[in-house]
Structures are given as C-alpha cells and as structure tokens.
A and B are shown apart, each in its own frame.
Chain A
Amino acid sequence: MYSQGLIGADGQTHEDAAFLAAFQARIDAEQKIEPNDPMPEGYRKTLVRQISQHAHSEIIGMQPEGNWISRAPSLRRKAALLAKVQDEGGHGLYLYSAAETLGVSREEMTEQLLSGAAKYSSIFNYPALTWADIGAIGWLVDGAAIMNQIVLCRCSYGPYARAMIRICKEESFHQRQGYEIMIALCNGSKEQKELAQDALNRFWWPSLMMFGPPEGDSVHSNQSMIWKIKRFSNDDLRDKFINASVPQAEKLGLTIPDSDLKWNEAKQGYDHGEIDWDEFWRVVKGDGICNRERLKNRRRVDRDGAWVREAAMAHAQKRRARMASARIAAE
C-alpha cells in the first residue's frame, strides 16, 4: 500500500558512476543507510516521498475510524478503538520523524498534505458507514497494511526500517480487534451477519487496490527495488494478501465478492477477477467518496490547533526569558 507513495516518484539522480556504484555496493551488502551517510539525491527524494505519504496515510487514516469512537457498541470496543486510533496517530509521528532525518521539515510535509500536493493511501477516501466497517477495516485494511509493512522492516534506509519494526509490533492488535468484531457480527443475528457481508463487499476491492497497480516495466519501481526501498512487487504482495484472507472469510462464513476468485493448483494460490483501476485512479486523483471531506477536516483541525501551538511557543519563550533574567539578577 505504501508503494502507492512511489506513484510518479522521480528517482532520477545525477551523481557520477563511481559514487553510485559505491552506494549500490553498500545496498547489495545489506548495509543500512543512515541519515548523514552519502546517498544519491534520487534515493533521498524517493524516500521522502514514500515515508511522508505513509505518514499522511496514518494521520488521515484516523478519520474513518475516529468517526465511530463515540458510537462503539460497548465500553470494551470503545476502549480498543480509541487505542487503535491513537496508535495510528503515533505511527504518523514515528514516520514524520523518519522523513525528517532526510532533511525535510515537519512544517513542509504538513503544508504538502494540507495543500493537496502530497497524497495518502487511496483506501482512506472510502467512508466507514456502519459498525461492521470498523471490523472490515481492522481485518482487511490493517491486514493489507501489515502485509506491506512487514517487508518494509527490511528497507535499506535505517530510520524507516526501525519505525516500521515498531509499527508492525503494534499493529497486530489492530487486525485482531477487527477480525474479532467480524466474528461477533457473524455469530449474531441475520441482520448482523448481513452487515458484516455488506462491509466485506464494500472493502474487499479497495483493499486490493491498496497494493497499487501492477508495475509492469515501471522504471521507478525497478529503481526502488534495486535500492531495496521496496522488496516485492505490488502483485506479489496482493496475491499474498488474497491467499491469507480467503480462508479467514470462509471461517466467518462470508463470501468474497469476486465471482472469478478460484484456487489455482499450479501456482498454489488464488486467481482473482479484474480490479477496477479506473476507480483507483479516480480516487488517487481526488475524486473518491471522501477525498474532500478528509482534507477539509484535516485543514480545520490544523487551523483550530494553531493557537495552541502559538501559545505553547510564547509560553516557552517567556519562561526562558524569565530564567535568564533571574540568573542575571543572581549574579
């Protein structure tokens, strides 16, 4: 999913051949690259783009679920959802810090998100309409995210890999809490089970799109693989996700909304139906169901919080000044 951040990435770089060869030798030897190490400009730019978009996804991702905190059906569910949404915020912060080690400021990244210049994962532009959607999001959306993030733990850039290790440790609870919600609904009344099936119907395809379109011979994607920013193709990860999710849906007694889905004995995996990439591009380009609402909310929150940040800065400045004058008086 976070390879969506690589769409349109400019991996061009202008260093001389000797520099690039020395850098590639380090990558090939599985050495991690750390913030102050010499690195090609294209490597740095590609990472800034991917990590900041990943961070934006975590921050915007708080919205669809945050919408249900006040309406969770029990205190247990509410506490879990609150903790999960808080985690997403924390994950955004780890990732912003990782991106900042590459010389981009938090303020610049925030500005890019608010102006619409930077993207975030397409999945968060779909609404969470019912409580069952909270189950489906945890199960499928977090499931797909984990599939992506586990391989990112081995990314060649040290700070990104370390942030991912932390995030992966925390995220396994997210998927389990989602699946548990689905189990409860599927063991409930007929209406509850229908709610669960409806959520699966709406979230299945957008979850598959999270992995991004097939790369084909995309130059940018190949360069990211060579630099070990990325380790598997979008299709490989998508297949892994489908193979893991189908039996989980069967356990719930739910039907995956894909009439072409069938087991392929030869490849020991599932073949799936055509994904609607037109829909994907519409959402990426800003025309999804919730794109405008998500950004509007984010801008409002940023505006509403501006006075708090200003006051905190003024308070810190005043205290510093007071301490300085007290010191002079004491001398």
Chain B
Amino acid sequence: MSEAAMPLWEVFIRARNGLSHKHAGSIHATDAEMALHAARDVYTRRGEGQSIWVVRSSDIVASDPVDKDMMFEPTASKIYRHPTFYEIPDDVGNM
C-alpha cells in the first residue's frame, strides 16, 4: 500500500478560560477543519477543554537541544534577576 502520508498537527487545549493553551498531543488530518474535529474526538472526551488550537507540526520552529547550553545557561549566572538576590532588612517587612 503506498498511500500519501497524512499531515501531522499539534494540538493545544485551553482547559478553561483564564488558562493558556497547553500542548496535548498530535493527530493526523488532511486539513485544518478535520484536524479540529479529530482533536476534539481524541483529546477532549472528558471535558478537558474550552478551546482547541491546531498547528501544522511542520510549521513549528523549535530550538535544537544541542544548543541548550548556549541558549539557556547564561541565565543561570544572572542571579541578580531574581528578587532573592537583594538584601532588605527583615524589619522592612514583605517586599
């Protein structure tokens, strides 16, 4: 059997208003409309969502894990970006 491969879509679901969409998984579909239907059937059988996004997997641009250190390590040394870096006398109270 030599069928053409059906495009892959990533599914994002907003559990309820006030929360952001979160990656739930992926599905195969020929177009956006079918992708939404399939995502609804596969990922929201128990009221998991109020809203669904589907994005073609091939349209997602991801950072390379090989570049992980270069990308993210520098932030580890910038501890002055965190509130705990600064010393405030206890008697000033919560700040």
Contact = CB atoms under 8 A, between A and B. Distances in A.
- Residue with the highest number of chain B CB atoms closer than 10 Å, among A36, A105, A316: A316
Given A86-B45, A310-B3, A316 B26 contact: no
B34 A106 contact: no
A309 interface: yes
B6 A309 contact: yes
B25 A97 contact: yes
B30 A313 contact: yes
Given A111-B1, A310-B3, A36 B65 contact: yes
A170 B62 CA distance: 31
Q: What is the size category of the interface that chain B forms with chain A?
A: 20 to 34
Contacts of B31: 312, 315-316, 319-320
A37 B30 CA distance: 29
A236 interface: no
B27 A97 contact: yes
A100 B8 contact: yes
Nearest to B46: A170
A298 B64 CA distance: 39
A306 B27 contact: no
Name B's interface SS: loop
B71 interface: no
Contacts of B5: 105-107
A34 B41 CA distance: 26
B45 A87 contact: yes
B25 A306 contact: no
B27 A93 contact: yes
A309 B3 contact: yes
Interface string A141-172: 00000000000000000000001001000100
Nearest to B11: A97
B88 interface: no
A83 B30 CA distance: 26
Given A36-B65, A97-B26, 14 more contacts: A90-B41, A94-B42, A100-B8, A106-B5, A107-B3, A302-B1, A309-B6, A309-B30, A310-B3, A312-B30, A313-B6, A316-B30, A316-B31, A320-B31
21 contacts: A36-B65, A37-B65, A38-B66, A87-B45, A90-B41, A90-B42, A90-B45, A94-B25, A97-B27, A106-B28, A114-B1, A170-B45, A306-B1, A306-B3, A310-B3, A312-B29, A313-B6, A315-B30, A315-B31, A316-B30, A316-B31
The 8 A-B pairs with the shortest beta carbon distances in the complex, nearest first, are A316-B30, A316-B31, A312-B30, A97-B26, A36-B65, A313-B30, A37-B65, A97-B25
Interface of B: 1, 3-6, 8, 25-31, 34, 41-42, 45-46, 62, 64-66
